[in-house]
Amino acid sequence: MNAQQVVQQFKEKYAHTKREAVAIEVVKGEATRWQSKFGGEPYWPISKPYPQTKEGEPLLLLAQFVLADLPHLPVDFPKTGILQFFIASDDVYGCEFGEHIQDGYRVVYHEDVEANLLEDVPSNLAINEYEFPFKQQYALRFELQQELISLSDHRMIDDYDDMDDATWDILHDHFIATGHKLGGYPFFTQCDPRAHMDHLKEYELLFQLDSDMDHDIMWGDVGVGNFFIHPTDLKNKDFTKVLYTWDCH
């Protein structure tokens, strides 16, 4: 079987796994506190306490999405408001690896956007490069795409035994799910943490920020950062139990 046939067979076998995702393209340039972006100063209303660790260290903006500006969003994503991802600036990027306790990270949804902003907000623009995945601010562009289940996904583990090395290499080039995205399927450099934790089996990808050498975005040794949410929580706009993890080579 040639490569084209292998890919076509995979598409047919896993056609039922197709789902929408929003691909995110990084654009070098400025973005205001009211726009979608990676890094920089976040939108933050003066009426709310700014997110910080239990030790009182402020978290830094990893990504911000003004949802009404996106051309289309996957099923059950809120369609208005601002969704933000914050992490700590430390040697593990605020990750708690398998825990839901949002101390070193925070996922915040502002359903109602306020006009008055907190003036003195922290930024990642002047920190040590080893304490955050990037040192810049990026504007973003978006495109809706459809994805089949990735080879990285924990639901594919039982299928690995049926693949020889040649088949794996071919499929790896097409169904590995790299890149920045909202929704869809995840990519891992190591393994899917949901595979070993029963309470996470139903969690789905909320947001993925990949290493991107063209734009100096790097998780450790060319890794990837992922945020997962239970579908019921997503429907209910409840982002308090989001799981954050990252891995690298």
Query: What ranges do the domains of the chain cover?
Result: 3-247
Here the tokens at position 90 are 């430390």
> What pLDDT, on a 0 to 100 scale, did the predictor assign at position 186?
96
Query: Which strands make up the sheet holding 19-28, listed edge to edge?
Result: 105-110, 82-87, 60-66, 37-38, 138-147, 19-28, 181-183, 204-210, 224-229, 243-247
Rounded to two decimals, what is the model's pTM?
A: 0.95
Cα-only R_g, the chain: 18
> What pLDDT, on a 0 to 100 scale, did the predictor assign at position 129?
63
Q: Which residues of the chain have pLDDT under 50?
A: none
43 Cα distance to chain centroid: 19
> What pLDDT, on a 0 to 100 scale, did the predictor assign at position 26?
96
Fold of 3-247: Hypothetical protein YwqG fold (2.30.320)
> What would the pLDDT profile of 43-61 be if each residue is shown by its tens digit?
999 999 999 999 999 999 9
